[in-house]
Structure 1
Amino acid sequence: MNIVLLEPEIPANTGNIGRSCVATNTRLHLIEPLGFRINEKQIKRAGMDYWDKLDINIYSDLEDFYEKNLAAKEHMYFATTKAHHTYKEAKYNPDDYIMFGKESAGIPEEILSDNEDKCIRIPMWGDIRSLNLSNSVAIILYEALSQNGFEKMQLTGELHRLTYK
């Protein structure tokens, strides 16, 4: 899978998303301008000691991203509160891209209008504007991974019995 962050602004969100990407073997794409420097302490703190394991690519703008990821034009979903379809209605393939916009404004309207049939939303109650970006990424990413059988992911854990005296 591929997570695309268009002009992310908050380093802690990007750090948390990076950690989720490492845990799921997902590539992270960051499209500039970024609201932080990639070497900031906050981003690495949120990503903890996983940051060096992250498959990350940074692009100067959206055009640069599409030039270097030709398949993205055909295999992209756009996460937005303005979508007519929920993220559960999408049919994800293992190499799909899911784009999320910056925290303060989301994905620009012209991009959404050009891709209306590929726009997806997370249902929310009432008039809540949106969820936190890193939470939104996790919700949709895990749905996409679930639809693909959590391919090559560890599906079971093991309890270690503790004895008390």
Structure 2
Amino acid sequence: MRIALFEPEIAGNVGAVLRLGACLGAAVDLIEPMGFEWDDRRVRRTAMDYIDHVTVTRHAGFDAFRATIGASRLLLFTTKGSHSAYEFAFRDDDILLFGKESAGVPPVVADGCDARLRIPIRAQVRSMNLATSAALALGEALRQTASLPD
């Protein structure tokens, strides 16, 4: 299972997702451009020493990333999703895609996904933090596929 971040803007969020990937065994794809320099100290500080335990692949853009996914399903997590992540049947080769913090993904990217999923939240609030959303989504996907580490 992989986590993909589309044009992430906040170094700390990327660091937290890298740490998540390291802990739960998920590779992380970063779709550029990013809103910070890759060598930003905030990435390493948030990921701490876990960054050496996760497979990270950087892609020059969405098309370059899309060319790497093979037969895996690309699942977009969005507040505009039509299906709850808790009612969706995950597969162990799924790729969980998250949009940039300020704007999500453009329609052309959303249209290229196999499903649009949402994490149910209270109506009074707009959205969750990117890293928190990734953790909830990955945890549910791994739970369903029995792929959680021992």
Q: Is the CA contact 2:92–2:147 (under 8 Å) kept in the aligned structure 1?
A: no
Match status 1:62 vs 2:59? no
Q: Percent identity?
A: 35
* Structure 2 stretches lacking a partner, 5+ long: none
Please state how far the C-alpha of 1:129 moved relative to its aligned partner: 1.2
Matches of 2:66 and 2:84 in 1, distance apart?
A: 25
Instruction: Please give the TM-score of this superposition, normalised by the length of structure 1.
Output: 0.86
Question: What does the per-residue CA deviation read over 1:29-82, in whole Å, with 9 as the maximum and x for residues that have no partner?
Answer: 00000111121110000001111121000000011011122224xx11100000
Instruction: Please give the TM-score of this superposition, normalised by the length of structure 2.
Output: 0.94
DSSP 3-state at the match of 2:4: strand
Question: What does the per-residue CA deviation read over 1:8-35, in whole Å, with 9 as the maximum and x for residues that have no partner?
Answer: 0000000000000000110100000011
Letter in 1 for 2:126: R
Matches of 2:116 and 2:11 in 1, distance apart?
A: 25
- Specify the alignment match of 2:16 in structure 1: 16
Match status 1:120 vs 2:143? no
- Specify the alignment match of 1:159 in structure 2: none
- Specify the alignment match of 1:90 in structure 2: 88
Tell which deviates more after alignment, 120-129 or 95-104: 120-129
Match status 1:133 vs 2:136? no
User: What is the RMSD of the two structures over their aligned residues, measured on CA atoms?
Assistant: 1.3
Match status 1:6 vs 2:6? yes
Matches of 1:111 and 1:34 in 2, distance apart?
A: 16
Matches of 2:11 and 2:122 in 1, distance apart?
A: 27
Please state how far the C-alpha of 1:109 moved relative to its aligned partner: 2.6
Count of aligned pairs between the two proteins: 150
DSSP 3-state at the match of 2:9: coil
* Structure 1 stretches lacking a partner, 5+ long: 155-165
